[in-house]
């Protein structure tokens, strides 16, 4: 998984805090990991499910 580009929120603190990182593994799914345990377990989620999750969060933040 070293070839993946991992991203975390721009709202994340520089100290790493309680954050997750996300990488697009393919057009079919994304991977999610704990930013403090980069060699730890990964959560794999389908791209459509990830998109729906982000849309829900964005909608809730705007209400």
Q: What 3-state DSSP class applies to 40?
A: coil
pLDDT tens digits along 24-43: 988 899 999 998 888 999 99
User: What is the CA 30 to chain-centroid distance, rounded?
Assistant: 8
Q: Phi, psi (5° rounding) for residue 61?
A: -70, -25
Q: Is the pLDDT score of 62 beyond 90?
A: no
Quote the number of domains for the chain.
Answer: 1
pTM of the model: 0.78
Res 33: pLDDT: 93
Res 28: pLDDT: 94
> 17 is in which domain, residue-wise?
1-63
Res 47: pLDDT: 94
Average of pLDDT values for 1-6?
Answer: 82
Res 21: pLDDT: 92
Res 5: pLDDT: 94
What is d(CA 35, CA 40) in angstroms, rounded to the nearest whole number?
Answer: 9
């Amino acid at each position: 998984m070293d070839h993946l580009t991992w991203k975390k929120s721009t709202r994340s603190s520089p100290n790493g805090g309680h954050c997750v990182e996300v990488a697009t593994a393919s057009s079919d799914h994304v991977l999610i990991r704990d930013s403090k345990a980069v060699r730890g377990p990964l959560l794999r989620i389908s791209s459509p499910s990830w998109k729906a999750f982000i849309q829900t969060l964005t909608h809730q933040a705007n209400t």
